[in-house]
Structure 1
Amino acid sequence: MKKLLMILTSHADLADGTNQTGVWLSTFADAYYEFIKAGFEVTVASPKGGKPPVDPLSEESDYTTEGITTYHDDLMAKMEFGNTWSLDEVGSLVYDAVYIADGHGALWDMADDARLGKILYSCLLNNTPVAMVGHGVAATFALAKLRPDALSGLRITAFTDTEEALLKRHRHIPFSLTDRLKASGAQFTHAIIPFTPHVEADGIFITGQNPASAAMAAQELMGRVEVEQLFCG
């Protein structure tokens, strides 16, 4: 059975000190069910382990998806989400693919996590495909600490400054993800219309711009695994 590591943020608070953030729930649920339907064995992890925070905004009816609806009635998925492995526990294991979900918390706890950097560096060495969605793309900065040229010329997308402003989060985050990716040498792209699906694939990396891109990024990741196994098997 194909093994996939799904990584979620453990960080709960925005920079204003009053509003909460966490995992953007649809980017867990929508991708999770794509992987389960395709027969993947999914291990869910987070920097701290245990139950990660959920961004309250992502649970509002305006952002409900089919994946979220299914998740609310799925006891097994709730158990996996509520008891994630820590990155210390999964860092030495081998997976066929890695998926990193969206959530503003990733700007705090994924951008500088040395354990995550080592996981992604191992993926790079072993040609293991990695999909990242929205703020989860901040994980590339942890990789860049080990391999400074990792983002140079890389075609990539992520949550945009325009989307931050429309969500009214732009004043409450530690840095602009867009600006930092560009400063690291990445070729940043995005959809013309905010909050619409957009995915880029370059090398082992698949990046989705926003929550609407989660299922598409997951499907691209699964296709990449199938191709790798076809040629390597």
Structure 2
Amino acid sequence: QLDIYNINGGETPIDPVSMNKVTLDRLTKKYYEDETFMRKLHDSPSIDEADVTQYDVIYFTGGHGVMYDFRGHDTIARAVNDIYDRGGLVSSVCHGASALLEIKRPNDHFLIEGQKLTGFSNREESIARRKKQVPYQLETALKEKGALYQKSIIPLKSFVVEEEQLITGQNPASARDVGEAIKLRLDVK
């Protein structure tokens, strides 16, 4: 079951860059043409309404806007800690890793401290010509919180890092592979 939540409820915005012909693959296009999926996007509940005890996985999507919305959000932190404490999976793609930046564990250490993970790289931000428009460089911020950041040698190529309960993808091209990694972990056919 796939449920979509956002920060405030209501319409879940899509980064317009995700809709261009270069990044719009066949599977993504199929979702955008699916009326049920699009209804979920147009009328999503707030993350504050989520009963996270009903979920085994939390997944943070990317897009530049989430760098503002996800980082330091209290409800996100509680949801991640709840799922993580129950042995669930915490996952993200691209800028979605910004959700993990401020999450602290009961021992007052950051969740990502000492953990291998990935997210949109500084080089990819430069290639996307957004380096001066974003509030911080995600790669740098992850490293500053103690994450053992990893990235593909080739920018914008699918790259997934699995570390215990974390499954992260570097960029939009990684979304499908993150989904596959989650399915394998959950043993979903």
Inter-CA distance 126–183: structure 2 relative to 1 (3 Å threshold): same
Please list, as runs of the form range in 1=range in 2, the aligned pairs for 1:96-175 lying within 5 A after superposition: 96-144=56-104, 147-175=108-136
Is residue 156–residue 200 contact of structure 1 (8 Å, CA) maintained in 2? yes
Question: Which 5+ residue runs of structure 2 have no aligned equivalent?
Answer: none
Partner residue in 1 for 2:39: 79
Distance in 2 separating the partners of 1:119 and 1:91: 9
Partner residue in 1 for 2:50: 90
TM-score (norm 1): 0.76
One-letter amino acid matched to 2:157: T
Inter-CA distance 51–145: structure 2 relative to 1 (3 Å threshold): farther
Q: How many residues align?
A: 187
Q: Give the Å deviation of 1:191.
A: 0.4
Of structures 1 and 2, the one with the larger relative CO (CA 8 A, separation 6+) is 1
One-letter amino acid matched to 2:79: I
Post-superposition CA distance 1:4-55 (Å, at most 9, x none): xxxxxxxxxxxxxxxxxxxxxxxxxxxxxxxxxxxxx111101111112221
Is residue 97–residue 225 contact of structure 1 (8 Å, CA) maintained in 2? no
- Alignment identity in percent? 27
Higher percent of residues as helix: 1
Question: Which 5+ residue runs of structure 1 have no aligned equivalent?
Answer: 1-40, 228-233
TM-score (norm 2): 0.93
Moved over 2 A (4+): 144-149
What RMSD in Å do the two structures reach over aligned CA positions?
1.6
Q: Give the Å deviation of 1:225.
A: 1.5
One-letter amino acid matched to 2:18: S
